[in-house]
Amino acid sequence: MLEVLEAFAVISVVVGVGAIVGRTGMLGDNARTVLNRVAFHIGVPALLLLNLSQATLPQIFSLSLLVSALAATLAMGLGLLVFTAVRRRERGEAVIAAWTASYVNAGNLGIPLSAYVFGSTTEISALILFQSAVMAPIGIAILNSANTPRPSPARQVLALVKNPIIAASVLGLALAAAGLNIEGPIADPLELLADLAIPTVLLAFGISLTAGIGDAPPTNRLDLTIAVLVKTVLMPATAFALARWGFGASPEQQLLVTVLAALPSAQNINAYAAVYRRNESLARDATLISTALSVPIIVAIVGVLR
């Protein structure tokens, strides 16, 4: 179980540095906003472009991805239904809440955890592909449509095309399908920019814990409870049930997809919430609590299923 704790410890240290930065104010009042924009417009797109361009079609269309994608889609769909129809939240707020219940921390936690626990990052890379190519565009389209006044359909499509996350994902998918690798003088600067993604998101998240998030209202506790329970309990249970009884997966595959589904809410959601000014408090709190809860949950999953 040491490898699981090691992965969480690395993240905790960087978030802790961000908290110190926020408490001392050494980077100024707009540090969190600037870091989130750097991640959203530069770091994350570069990271996705590199990761997706290096994937192959057999890696993408695997049983583990199918189960993980179904579990994430069901969790996101349930979140959207509950937060719009039951909790009566505005569409932009609802999609952020639904993301916290379904969009896993596949990058800065999933990759090291997969490497330590399973000795491979192929499956988690495929999940990153699904989240960036499917879940992110759907959520961003809903966020764009929730703007007032609502943009025309043509403007909504243009906004999706111009979105750096989606543009990088589409380009990465095209390169992967064509079998073209980014190498040499093109890859080197992209790798430097991609290295910005994880630390900027984690630092901004740490700053938000101590410096606050501006005029955003406090988190609704019931909304927070629903999002965290769906993410940490219902989604991994769904993945396990699908793998075992739905597809007859091997024990190793059952363990893999259950651990991936039990990963906490992605810190990237905080960047989306900050850029679109929607449900920032919920994104911050759900990320923090799901990360804390995922430690014992993933340790228990590995102990029982392995």
Q: What is the 8-class DSSP label of residue 52?
A: H
> How is 108-166 classified by DSSP, letter by letter?
IIIHHHHHHHHS--HHHHHHHHHIIIIIHHHHHHHHHHTSSSPPPHHHHHHHHHH-HHH
More confident residue, 43 or 146: 43
In this predicted model, which residue has the larger pLDDT, 237 or 149?
237
> Residue 60's pLDDT band (boundaries 50, 70, 90)?
low
Q: Does 211 have pLDDT greater than 70?
A: no
Structure tokens at 89: 């939240």
pLDDT in tens, 156-170: 677 777 778 778 888
pLDDT digits (tens, 9 = 90+) for 96-141: 999 999 999 887 678 767 777 777 767 887 888 788 778 988 898 8
Specify the pLDDT at position 179: 84
pLDDT in tens, 275-294: 888 889 999 999 989 988 98
The confidence score (pLDDT) of residue 225 equals: 96
What's this model's pTM, rounded to 2 decimal places? 0.80
Mean pLDDT is highest, among 57-66, 142-151, 256-265, for 256-265
**Selected residue with higher pLDDT from 83 and 205:** 83
Query: Which has the closest alpha carbon to 206: 148, 97, 284, 103?
Result: 284
Q: How does DSSP classify residue 107?
A: I
pLDDT reading at 214 higher than 70: no
Q: Rounded to an integer, what distance in angstroms lies between the CA atom of residue 143 and that of residue 136?
A: 10
Domain ranges of the chain: 1-305
Q: Is the Cβ–Cβ distance between 196 and 35 less than 8 Å? A: no
Q: What is the pLDDT of residue 149?
A: 65
Q: Quick one: pLDDT at residue 286? A: 94
Class level of CATH domain 1-305:
mainly alpha
User: Position 37: which residue type?
Assistant: R
Which of 286, 186, 152, 267 is CA-nearest to residue 228?
Answer: 286
